[in-house]
C-alpha cells in the first residue's frame, strides 16, 4: 500500500486531483513513492527530521539501509533484522507458510509457531526472497537521442542494455530493465534471489489476526501482525533450495530496532515494495475503475470467499486449506469496495476532469503546445469511449471462465477450438481434461457459475449477453435464479460432464437435442463470440494508449513545472511522513496510538476479538519489561507515509534509520489510493516494534529470537524524549 511524493509535489497530478480547497503546505509533502536513487532530490527531508545522508539509505556501491530490505515472493516486503538472516515481516505475509505446514490436529495459524532454536525452524514452502542490489534510472541511456523510443526500437535498446549490464553483474545477480509510466521512465534493477526460507516464530491467530476482517483497514487497530522468518543459503553462500546442510544467510546490512518509542508528529520513513499505483491516469480510466471494474472485482471476490467458506463448514481439512485464500479474498474485497466508495466520496473523477479542463486551456494558449498536445485529450476520450462502451459486459465475458471453473473451462476450450480430432487427438484431450478436473471443488464451480449468470442478468439493457438471454431471458426473479442454478449444477455437479464427455466434444455429435450437453455448448460458443469482440476492443485501445498516456503525463508535468514520481510497480521505494492522527469525518478525530487498553475494550472472548489469556495475565501483573510505556504497551500507530499493497511487512524507521514499527495495513478512508493520495486522510497502520518484541519475548516465550536482534533506545531514552 504505498505511493511516493516529494516537496511541493514533485509528485504532480495527485494534489490537483484531491485538493481543491486551500491546505497548509506541509500537508502536501507526504505523497510519493520515490525510487531510492532519487532520495537526494527530495527537498527539506533534513528539516522534517531525517538525520541520515541519502547515501546512508541507498548506496549503489552497497552498505545503505536498502540492503536490509527484501521482497517476498508472495508479494510482501520484509527486512533483515540480524546478522544471521533473520527476517521480520507480517503475519499475513507468512500466512501461506503456516497453512501449508498445518494439519487438522496442528493449526499453526490458530496456535502460532514457536521453536526453541534454529534446529526447529520449519520450511516456508514455496517462499523465496529477492534482494535489490542496485536501482538506476536508465531513461537517458534508453532514449539516447532524447526521443522516447517505442515498439521494436525500444525493445532492442532495452535488450542491448540489459545484456551489457548483466555481463558486468556479479554471479547470481539478475539484471532487468522495466518501463514505467507508459515510457516516461526506464529503470534498471539488479536483484538476487534466496530460495530457502524458514519460519522462526509466529504469534497465534488472536494476536496475529486480532480483530480479523471486521478490523481490516480500520483505525483503531490492535493487531500483532508480525512473523519472523530466516533466509538460508548453501555453505558457500550461494542460493540453494531447502537442505538441512544449508546455513543462515549473512546479509550485508540488517536493521537496528529502537524501543524508545514515538510521539505524535515524529518524522518516520518507510522502505518497501509497493505493488502498483496509477496516479497519472486520465479521467476516463478512473471512471472505468469506479463504475465498472472495482464493483465487479469486489463482488467477484466476495462470491469466491463465500463459496470457500461454505465448503469449509463441513470439512476441517479444507477449512484449513482455504483459510489463506479466504483471507486474501476478504482483504481484496475491502480494497476494491472501499476504493470505489472513496473515489465517489472524494469526487476524484470530477477533480481530474477539472484538471483536464485547465490543461486544455493551457495547451490552447501556445502554438507549440497545441502542436504537441493539442489532440491528446480528444484522442483519449475517443479511445476510451470506444473501448468502454460495453465495459460491464466486457469485464464479464473476458474473465469467464475463470480458474474456479475447471469443467466449464474445458467445455469452453472445446467450443472455442472448433476442432474435430482423430482418436489420438481425443485421447490427448481426455488426458488433459482428467488433469484439469483432478482435485476440483464442484460446489465452488457451481457457485461461481451462478455468480456470473446473475451478473449477466444485472447488465444494462444495452449490454446484455446473448448467450445468457437465449437460455434465461424468458424467466424473471426467482424463476431465473432457479434456471441458472440448474444450468450451473449440470456443469459442476451433474452426471453428464466428465473427462470422457469433454473429450467427445472434439468428435462428431448426435443430432438429437440434449439440454445437458447442448445448452452449455451453445452458451460457450456465444461466450467465445462475445469474448472475441471484447478482446478486439481491448487490443485497439492498447495499440493507442501508451503513446497517449505518455503525452498526457508529459503535458501535465510541463504545465505544472514538475517531475512526476514513477507509479509503484513492486520495486524498492522510499516514502516519508509523520506520526499523525486524522479526522475521518465531521466532529471526529482519531489519535495515532493504540495500547493494550483498547485491545481489552474490544475483547469479547470470541474470535476475532478474543484476547489471549497470557496477555491478560501479563497486563494484570504489569509485566511489560523494557517495552512498556505509562504502565501499558503501545500496540499500533499510524503515520502519513504513502503506502499501498506490497508494502505489507515494510519497516517504519525513525530519523536515525532505526526500526520503530512494521507496516501492515492502511486505513479505510485512504482506499482508492492507487489513483490518488489524500494527505488529510491517508494513513499507514503499523505494529509498534515494542509490541512485536514484547509479544515475542513475554507472551510467546521466545526470548532467544529477541536476543538475536540489535536494540537501541529503551525506557530511559523514551523518558528523555518526553
For residue range 481-534, list pLDDT tens digits in order.
Answer: 999 999 999 999 999 999 999 999 999 988 889 999 999 999 999 999 999 999
Q: What is the C-alpha to C-alpha distance for residues 352 and 569, in angstroms, rounded to an integer? A: 22
Average pLDDT over residues 472-485: 97
Task: Report the range of poorest mean pLDDT among 23-37, 147-161, 344-358, 447-461.
Answer: 23-37
Q: Residue 439: count other Cβ atoms within 10 Å of its Cβ.
A: 7
Q: What is the C-alpha to C-alpha distance for residues 87 and 295, in angstroms, rounded to an integer? A: 37
Residue 12 has pLDDT above 60, yes or no: no
Residue 24 has pLDDT above 50, yes or no: no
| Cell numbers found for residue 158 | 532495452
Judge contact between 649 and 271, C-beta under 8 A: no
Q: pTM score > 0.85 for this model?
A: yes
Q: Is 31 helix (H, G, I), strand (E, B) or coil?
A: coil
Q: DSSP string of 139-182? A: HHHHTTTSS---HHHHHHHHHHHHHHHHHHSPTTEEEEEEEEGG
Among 668, 661, 652, CA closest to 577: 652
Judge contact between 17 and 346, C-beta under 8 A: no
Residue 676 has pLDDT above 60, yes or no: yes
Confidence label for 461 from pLDDT (cuts 50, 70 and 90): very high
Q: What is the C-alpha to C-alpha distance for residues 480 and 473, in angstroms, rounded to an integer? A: 8
Asked if omega into 608 is within 30° of 0 (cis), the reply is yes
Among 150, 319, 102, 118, CA closest to 228: 118
Q: Where are the domains of the chain?
A: 283-547
Confidence label for 719 from pLDDT (cuts 50, 70 and 90): low
pLDDT of residue 544: 95
pLDDT of residue 22: 30
pLDDT 10s digits, 179-220: 999 999 999 999 999 999 999 999 999 999 999 999 999 999
Q: DSSP string of 402-442? A: -TT-HHHHHHHHHHHH-----HHHHHHHHHHHHHHHTT--H
Q: Residue 515: count other Cβ atoms within 10 Å of its Cβ.
A: 13
Among 300, 302, 297, 503, CA closest to 407: 503
Confidence label for 717 from pLDDT (cuts 50, 70 and 90): low
Per the listing, cell 479526522 goes with 583
| H helix count then E strand count, the chain | 28, 19
Q: What is the C-alpha to C-alpha distance for residues 148 and 140, in angstroms, rounded to an integer? A: 9
Confidence label for 7 from pLDDT (cuts 50, 70 and 90): very low
Average pLDDT over residues 170-185: 96
Judge contact between 699 and 612, C-beta under 8 A: yes
| Cell numbers found for residue 131 | 534482494
Per the listing, cell 515494510 goes with 650
pLDDT of residue 151: 87
Judge contact between 54 and 26, C-beta under 8 A: no
Q: What is the C-alpha to C-alpha distance for residues 136 and 373, in angstroms, rounded to an integer? A: 29
Among 295, 391, 373, 287, CA closest to 335: 295
Phi, psi of 233 (to 5 degrees): -130, 175
- Sign of the CA dihedral running 654, 659, 663, 664: negative
pLDDT 10s digits, 294-352: 999 999 999 999 999 999 999 999 999 999 899 999 999 999 999 999 999 999 999 99
Judge contact between 273 and 77, C-beta under 8 A: yes
How much of the chain exceeds pLDDT 70, in percent? Answer: 95
pLDDT 10s digits, 379-388: 999 999 999 9
Q: What is the C-alpha to C-alpha distance for residues 11 and 38, in angstroms, rounded to an integer? A: 12
Among 272, 241, 181, CA closest to 574: 272
Q: Is 649 helix (H, G, I), strand (E, B) or coil?
A: coil
How much of the chain exceeds pLDDT 90, in percent? Answer: 91
Among 496, 503, 500, CA closest to 518: 496
Count the alpha carbons within 13 Å of 196 in the hemisphere toward its beta carbon: 20
Judge contact between 658 and 689, C-beta under 8 A: no
Q: What is the C-alpha to C-alpha distance for residues 178 and 590, in angstroms, rounded to an integer? A: 40
Residue 5 has pLDDT above 60, yes or no: no
566 DSSP assignment: P
Amino acid at each position: 500500500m504505498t505511493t511516493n511524493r516529494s516537496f511541493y509535489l514533485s509528485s504532480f497530478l495527485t494534489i490537483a486531483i484531491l485538493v481543491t480547497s486551500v491546505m497548509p503546505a506541509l500537508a502536501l509533502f507526504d505523497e510519493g513513492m520515490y525510487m531510492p536513487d532519487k532520495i537526494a532530490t527530495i527537498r527539506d527531508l533534513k528539516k522534517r527530521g531525517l538525520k541520515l545522508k541519502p547515501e546512508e539509505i541507498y548506496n549503489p556501491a552497497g552498505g545503505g539501509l536498502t540492503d536490509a530490505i527484501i521482497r517476498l515472493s508472495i508479494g510482501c516486503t520484509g527486512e533483515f533484522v540480524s546478522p544471521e538472516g533473520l527476517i521480520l515481516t507480517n503475519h499475513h505475509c507468512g500466512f501461506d507458510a503456516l497453512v501449508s505446514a498445518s494439519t487438522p490436529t496442528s493449526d499453526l495459524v490458530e496456535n502460532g509457531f514457536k521453536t526453541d532454536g534454529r534446529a526447529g525452524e520449519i520450511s516456508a514452502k514455496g517462499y523465496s526472497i529477492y534482494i535489490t542490489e542496485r536501482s538506476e534510472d536508465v531513461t537517458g541511456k534508453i532514449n539516447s537521442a532524447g526521443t522516447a523510443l517505442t515498439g521494436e526500437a525500444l525493445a532492442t535498446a532495452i535488450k542491448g542494455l540489459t545484456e551489457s549490464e548483466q555481463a558486468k553483474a556479479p554471479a547470481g545477480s539478475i539484471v532487468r530493465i522495466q518501463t514505467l509510466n507508459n515510457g516516461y521512465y526506464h529503470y534498471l534493477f539488479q536483484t538476487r534471489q534466496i530460495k530457502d526460507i524458514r519460519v522462526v516464530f509466529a504469534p497465534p491467530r488472536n494476536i496475529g489476526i486480532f480483530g480479523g476482517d471486521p478490523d481490516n483497514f480500520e483505525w483503531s487497530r490492535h493487531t500483532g501482525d508480525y512473523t519472523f522468518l530466516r533466509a538460508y543459503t548453501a555453505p558457500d553462500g550461494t542460493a540453494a533450495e531447502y537442505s538441512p546442510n544449508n546455513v543462515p544467510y549473512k546479509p550485508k546490512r540488517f536493521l537496528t530496532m529502537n524501543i524508545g518509542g514515538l510521539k505524535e508528529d515524529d518524522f518516520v520513513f518507510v522502505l518497501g515494495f509497493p505493488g502498483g499505483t496509477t496516479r497519472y491516469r486520465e479521467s476516463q480510466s478512473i471512471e472505468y475503475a469506479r463504475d465498472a471494474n472495482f464493483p465487479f472485482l469486489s463482488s467477484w471476490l466476495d462470491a469466491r470467499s463465500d463459496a470457500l467458506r461454505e465448503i469449509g463448514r463441513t470439512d476441517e481439512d479444507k477449512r484449513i486449506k482455504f483459510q489463506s485464500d479466504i483471507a486474501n479474498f476478504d482483504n481484496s474485497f475491502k480494497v476494491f469496495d472501499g476504493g470505489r466508495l472513496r473515489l465517489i466520496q472524494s469526487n476524484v473523477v470530477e477533480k481530474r476532469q477539472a484538471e483536464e479542463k485547465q490543461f486544455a486551456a493551457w495547451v490552447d494558449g501556445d502554438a507549440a503546445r497545441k502542436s504537441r498536445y493539442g489532440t491528446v485529450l480528444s484522442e483519449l476520450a475517443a479511445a476510451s469511449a470506444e473501448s468502454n462502451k460495453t465495459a460491464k459486459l466486457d469485464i464479464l465475458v473476458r474473465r469467464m471462465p475463470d480458474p474456479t471453473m475447471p469443467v466449464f473451462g474445458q467445455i469452453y476450450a472445446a467450443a472455442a477450438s472448433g476442432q474435430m480430432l482423430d482418436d489420438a487427438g481425443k485421447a490427448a484431450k481426455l488426458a488433459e481434461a482428467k488433469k484439469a478436473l483432478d482435485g476440483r471443488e464442484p460446489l465452488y464451480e457451481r457457485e461461481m457459475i451462478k455468480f456470473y449468470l446473475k451478473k449477466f442478468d444485472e447488465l444494462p439493457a444495452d449490454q446484455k449477453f446473448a448467450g445468457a438471454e437465449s437460455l434465461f431471458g424468458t424467466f424473471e426473479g426467482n424463476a431465473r435464479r432457479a434456471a441458472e442454478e440448474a444450468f450451473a449444477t449440470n456443469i459442476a455437479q451433474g452426471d453428464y460432464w466428465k473427462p470422457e464427455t469433454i473429450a467427445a466434444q472434439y468428435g462428431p455429435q448426435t443430432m438429437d437435442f440434449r439440454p445437458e450437453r447442448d445448452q452449455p455448448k451453445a452458451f460457450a460458443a456465444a461466450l467465445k463470440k462475445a469474448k472475441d469482440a471484447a478482446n478486439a476492443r481491448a487490443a485497439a485501445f492498447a495499440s493507442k494508449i501508451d503513446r497517449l498516456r505518455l503525452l498526457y503525463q508529459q503535458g501535465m508535468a510541463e504545465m505544472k513545472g514538475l517531475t512526476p514520481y514513477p507509479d509503484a510497480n513492486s520495486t524498492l521505494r522510499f516514502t516519508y511522513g509523520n506520526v499523525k492522527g486524522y479526522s475521518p469525518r465531521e466532529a471526529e478525530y482519531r489519535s495515532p496510538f493504540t495500547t493494550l487498553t483498547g485491545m481489552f475494550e474490544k475483547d469479547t472472548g470470541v474470535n476475532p476479538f478474543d484476547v489471549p489469556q497470557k496477555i491478560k495475565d501479563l497486563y494484570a501483573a504489569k509485566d511489560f519489561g523494557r517495552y512498556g510505556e505509562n504502565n501499558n504497551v503501545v500496540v499500533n500507530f499510524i503515520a502519513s507515509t504513502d503506502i499501498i499493497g506490497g508494502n505489507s511487512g515494510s519497516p517504519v524507521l525513525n530519523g536515525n534509520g532505526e526500526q520503530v514499527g512494521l507496516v501492515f495495513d492502511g486505513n479505510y478512508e485512504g482506499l482508492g489510493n492507487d489513483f490518488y493520495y489524500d494527505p488529510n486522510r491517508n494513513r499507514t497502520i503499523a505494529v509498534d516494534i515494542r509490541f512485536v518484541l514484547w509479544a515475542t519475548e513475554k507472551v510467546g516465550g521466545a526470548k532467544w529470537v529477541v536476543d538475536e536482534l540489535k536494540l537501541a533506545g529503551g525506557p530511559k531514552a523514551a523518558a528523555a524524549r518526553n
